[in-house]
A and B are shown apart, each in its own frame.
Chain A
Amino acid sequence: MPKATTAGQLSTPAVSPRLLWTALAVVAFMLLITYLVVFDQGAVSRSGMYLHELMHDGRHLLGVPCH
């Protein structure tokens, strides 16, 4: 049964509502980290401009508008 074998080899769990909520929380957290790297001016991280300036070069080289 090649079809059944293919279905049995799926590597991801079935998508349940619980998985969707977990995934949503993970996406929100990943976007927060992305925000801290590429856009934060200290308002979220509460580090003043320190993190912003620390990651200045990365922002330029990752192609994000900087200043």
Chain B
Amino acid sequence: MPLSDGSKALTFGALLLRGLLAGLIAGLLAGFFAYGFGEPKVDAAIAIEEAAAPAPAPDAPHEEELVSRNGQKGGLFLATGLYGAAMGGLLAVAFTLLRRRLRTPSDTRAALGLAGAALLGLVLVPYVKYPPNPPAVGDPGTINQRTISYLAIVVIGLVAVWAAVVAKRTQPTEWRQAIAAVIGFLVVVVVGYALLPNINEVPATFPPDLLWSFRLTSLGTQAVLWTTLGLAFAALLSLGRRAAAQPEREPATAA
């Protein structure tokens, strides 16, 4: 006996719950990665920051007074956990609204595809233009301009992924679809990179190896977050589908 569409579909609430849970797991895992590999670099950069500024201005807020370094290391998990949960919620919304437009019968592929698109558009495209900086790098006077530029490149990254999908769907054969996707993506990214200002505020005295390893661990943290989020969301979807298909469940009433 064929099951109706309604009995197999998850509700939006159920999808959202799975996204939030997957995001929390991903955020905490990214937090462990950042704690293990990133915190030594942050510590080293803060030591440089403090050595460079032995006498801070009297009106400048002093960081260690408000939250200790140990407090900030605990707060790292709060930050990545909350951020992961929020990204999981957004992934669940994107999945709910876009699932029927993604041309694959597989929920796993759809979930992993969306997470991969986010990793590309939200992380990699911004990363190349505005690589993350450790403490002691960056002029506080330009923080507003840098934040706006960062938000702009995040939007451009997402538009580039969208452009790749649109361009892909204009072509009839697979190899032409692949080329069109790459061209669509690159056009948006190149225009975005050219329009947005270059920012390089790394002091000449900052150790290059520390900058390099900090940036690598920052990329690793975000890669762990989005990879885990995609895999966990796909796994929870699969578990939810199996539970929803159990015969003891009452069939959902027609919506």
Which A positions have Cβ atoms within 8 angstroms of B? Answer: 4-15, 19-20, 22-23, 26-27, 29-31, 33-34, 36-39, 48-50, 53-67
Contacts and interface: CB of A to CB of B under 8 A. Distances in A.
Contact of A11 (B99, B132, B218): B99
Given A33-B86, A61-B38, A61-B221, A53 B2 contact: no
Contact of A37 (B61, B82, B131, B221): B82
B72 A26 contact: no
B45 to A, nearest CB: 8
Nearest to B7: A8
A30 to B, nearest CB: 4
Interface string B1-35: 01111001111100110000000000000010010
B83 A60 contact: no
A53 B86 contact: no
A63 B215 CA distance: 8
B172 interface: no
Contact of A27 (B93, B138, B221): B93
B89 A64 contact: no
Given A26-B16, A49-B66, A54-B75, 5 more contacts: A11-B15, A23-B93, A30-B93, A57-B76, A65-B147
B132 A60 contact: yes
Given A8-B3, A8-B4, A49-B66, A55 B96 contact: no
Contact of B86 (A30, A50, A58, A61): A30
Given A30-B89, A53-B67, A12 B80 contact: no
A15 B131 CA distance: 38
Interface string B25-69: 000000100100011001000000000000000000101001100
A57 B8 contact: no
A58 B96 contact: no
A58 B2 contact: no
A58 B80 contact: yes
A50 to B, nearest CB: 6
B247 interface: no
Contact of B135 (A22, A50, A60): A60
B146 interface: yes
